[in-house]
Chain A
Amino acid sequence: MTGLIATASAPAEASGTHAPLAAKSAARPFPSGQRAGWLMVAPTVLFLLVWFAWPVLSMVWLSVSAKVVEGVTVPGLTADNYLRLFQTDLYLRILARTARVAALTCLVAVVLAYPLAIAIARGTPGLARIVTLTILAPLLVNVVVRSYGWQTILNKTGALAWVLKQLGITGMPSLLYTEWAVLIACVHVYLPFMVMPLASAIRRIDRSVEEAARVAGASRFRVFSRVILPLSLPGLAVGSSLVFSLTAAAYVTPQILGGNFSPLLGTLIEQQILTLNDWPFGAAISTLLITMVLASNLVFLRLVNRRFVKWTGIAA
């Protein structure tokens, strides 16, 4: 009892964290002062510096500090790896295909995601739960399995061919190993990353705004195009930047559905490094991929948000 009183009546110490009741700072699970904080954070920071920051930076450095000439690595500062990437027709085609597939995936995902996101944000709790579960559960299924699933559908003897045959449509070329197959599967794999941010953006929209528009005589489509669409732009920006960067960097899905007929940048990196052993060139493509992803983040998040502020006057 005396101990309790002594502790409680001890003079208030300026604890570094949060101690309105001023218990003795030494006797807390989180001691005051920054030292303890550093000790808790340091192992992770060191781990990531050594095994993430250093490897990635040294790879970026490799792309400008060496090149492979006739199978021999020649050190020395050079821009040749990048020049080769931008001057070779084959590589430019792969680069363009990557940007095209990523942009189209994004676009299709937006169109498909809105109905799903509206159902999650505005549907009855039961509907919202079913849609959320059905959209998210596939994320737990390995991406190789999901891509293989599309192979079994798009194959020459697959489910789609059978359905078309039942409908009397024959002679359709098989979609497997085309850019279309890659696009379809990428939309499927990355759709959840568009639906979830959109749904949370739509959920934040005040329902009375929609009701006001409807009362004022706006059709459902007008409510969507003038209220939901502009007010959900921040969610659209997050979703688009996620889907674009994930698709641009995808390896497994394009590999399984596109084969060697429509490779993306990921496949090119793998070929250059594992097959041709051209590390500096592979490093240059990897650096380009990082740049693409960062640029897409910047474009989607900055520009769309600026547009959002202009349209609505709300700071995102």
Chain B
Amino acid sequence: MSDDISPVLKIVVGVLLALVVAPLVVPVLMSVSDTPFITFPPQGFTTEWYGKVLTDPEAQGTFLFSLKLAGVVTLISLILGVPCAAGLVRYDLPGQGLILGLILSPLIVPLIVIGVALLQTFSMLGSRATFAQLVIGHTVVCLPYVIRTVSGSFMLVNRSLEDAASVMGASPLTVARRVIWPQVRPGICAGGIFAFIVSFDDYPISMWLADGRNFPVPLFLHSMIERSFDPSIAAMAALLIFFALLLVLVIEKAFGISLARLIS
């Protein structure tokens, strides 16, 4: 079926892919430039800027903070989301459409608006617990992804296997552990990875709720862009690009989940 794609189209696709990759390649090139300012083409070669970023206590702190935040958010999203997805698939609840609407609407309302609305509510409540606020804000956004992915896998569970196991005398726990879990595990993993990425990359919610001591990576990077001009900022961008590539590899190889399924 190779004749389905004309050579012209192939060239167009090639150019487009190059353009898609360009803004990710250029910062990497610039990050090794041996100049005190950012320039293209890069001059000389040095890894000094990587050293500067990796040993910067502020950068380390913000990275660890983002990992912690995304980890907690992933855990809470799964604890809330997995039973909810199972319940929605397995039970015919009255008002199910309404519930589904509520669960999916954080995907429709602009993130920046969810963030500002939460800030208003938190300040009305007089809350100062910044970390908890960030966890709540991120969880609101991660839940729809988790529930969508996990409910998809619960819908595919083969119920005759459960019936068979029960009939053969398996306890409910055994059925859950040995029959249902293996079937829904990939979906739950995908949902968890998704929640982690969404939380780790979030900017528009964090920008309202963060403070000096609770400062996630994307905000740190943005503040760096505004105040520093040496290639260390390009080095930090490059590190995050490598981190994303690593994620792609882990997702595709270790978990065997195709990126296309995870995202669309």
Q: Which residues of A contact B (CB under 8 A)?
A: 3-4, 7-8, 16-21, 23-24, 27-30, 34, 36-41, 43-45, 47-49, 51-56, 58-59, 62, 112, 115-116, 118-119, 122-124, 127, 130-146, 148-153, 155, 157-159, 161-162, 185, 188, 191-192, 196-197, 200, 220, 245, 248-249, 251-252, 255-256, 266, 269-270, 273, 279, 282-283, 286, 289-290, 293-294, 297
Contact = CB atoms under 8 A, between A and B. Distances in A.
A290 B221 contact: no
Given A134-B20, A286-B116, A17 B91 contact: yes
A252 B39 CA distance: 23
A59 B180 contact: no
Given A44-B147, A142-B221, A269-B112, A152 B162 contact: no
Contacts of A269: 112-113, 116
B244 A137 contact: yes
B222 A144 contact: yes
Contacts of A144: 203, 218, 221-222, 225
A256 B222 contact: yes
A-side interface mostly: helix
Contact of A52 (B23, B106, B197): B106
Given A40-B84, A47-B139, A127-B13, 9 more contacts: A21-B167, A37-B91, A133-B248, A141-B241, A142-B218, A146-B23, A249-B111, A256-B225, A273-B116
A134 B17 contact: yes
A134 B248 CA distance: 11
Contacts of A122: 1, 4-5
Given A7-B169, A40-B84, A140-B247, A48 B23 contact: no
B55 interface: no
B227 to A, nearest CB: 13
Interface in B160-176: 160, 162-164, 166-169, 171-173, 175-176
Contacts of B197: 140
B185 interface: no
Given A53-B102, A145-B237, A200-B264, A152 B23 contact: yes
A214 to B, nearest CB: 10
Contact of A159 (B26, B120, B140, B207): B26
24 contacts: A4-B169, A21-B166, A23-B167, A34-B94, A40-B83, A40-B87, A41-B83, A41-B99, A47-B80, A51-B137, A58-B124, A119-B5, A119-B10, A122-B5, A127-B13, A136-B259, A137-B248, A145-B241, A148-B225, A150-B23, A153-B22, A196-B263, A249-B204, A290-B113
B6 A293 contact: no
Contact of A44 (B81, B118, B234): B81
Q: Which of A148, A153, A200 has the most CB of B within 10 A?
A: A148
A130 to B, nearest CB: 8
B222 A252 contact: yes
The 9 closest A-B pairs by CB, nearest first: A37-B91, A149-B23, A40-B87, A249-B110, A55-B117, A23-B166, A44-B84, A140-B244, A40-B83
A134 B21 contact: yes
A299 B66 CA distance: 38
A152 B245 contact: no
A56 B114 contact: yes
A140 to B, nearest CB: 4
A286 B143 contact: no
B90 interface: yes
Nearest to B262: A136
Interface string B192-207: 0000010011011001
Contact of B263 (A19, A145, A192): A192
B64 interface: no
Contacts of B155: none
A18 B164 CA distance: 12
